[in-house]
Amino acid sequence: MPEFYSDGRQIMALESGDHIWYYDGQGNEFAISGEQTSTDLNIPRLQWFSGADPNDPNDYRNNGIHIFNFVIYDSEIRRGQPHLRTGAGSHAWLNNNPGNLTGVPGGPDFGQFPNKFNWHHFLIFPDHDTGFAAIASFLGQGPYPTLSILEAFRKYAPASDGNTPDQYAADVAASAQVSTDTLVGDLTSDQMQAMQSKIEAIEGTIPGTTLQASEAPQVIQDLINGA
């Protein structure tokens, strides 16, 4: 028989490609009591931390070190703290997504887990090689092939997201030994691979902790088992 949460939602077992936010219950007086989990894209700051500023996405009432992001894979679980400026386990690493590619439900297939997303709608890939290859696939579709590298990276990494796209474009172009005026569609496979490697370096694949299911907090083990 299926089991249900108190609000009527059916309890579904976590599967490969799923992510979960976890609060360890060890925070300060502003934090909710006990361990907490959420499969929302965003950390539920306002529910977990009393008085958190709704207009400041980084306000955890000094409880950020007690929050973790877990991603479930067939043979392992990855744990990181990508919300912290110096936290181990970046989203690029957690999601096997070295280009920090984003998507929407029903979007193009680049080899990611279908309709699985982490924070900021980052795609989640089954392994690093698939995620790395997806960078070239992503830049080979839609408007990108007809754009210059400069135009492409103003779209790929817009300033509105806190990026410096002109510098980004200059860095990836230099890695391929071409100018930023070069059309993305004119790059050779070797030049594209050089750009992919530079993109991964810029995005920051910072390792976190790899766990077996039995090493995860019990509340996450229960979610994996659908309990």
Q: Which residues pair with 70 in a beta bridge?
A: 20, 79
**Given this model, what pLDDT does residue 10 score?**
52
Can you give the residue ranges of every domain in the chain?
19-89+206-224, 130-202
**Given this model, what pLDDT does residue 226 score?**
82
Tally of CA atoms within 13 A in the half-sphere of 76 that contains its CB: 11
Q: What is the pLDDT of residues 134-173, one digit of tens each?
A: 999 999 999 999 999 999 999 999 999 889 999 999 999 9
Tally of CA atoms within 13 A in the half-sphere of 50 that contains its CB: 7
Q: Which residues pair with 10 in a beta bridge?
A: 4
pLDDT at 96 over 90: yes
Closest CA to 73 of 212, 208, 200, 209: 212
- C-beta of residue 224 within 8 angstroms of C-beta of residue 213: yes
Q: pTM for the complete prediction?
A: 0.92
Q: What is the pLDDT of residues 161-172, one digit of tens each?
A: 889 999 999 999
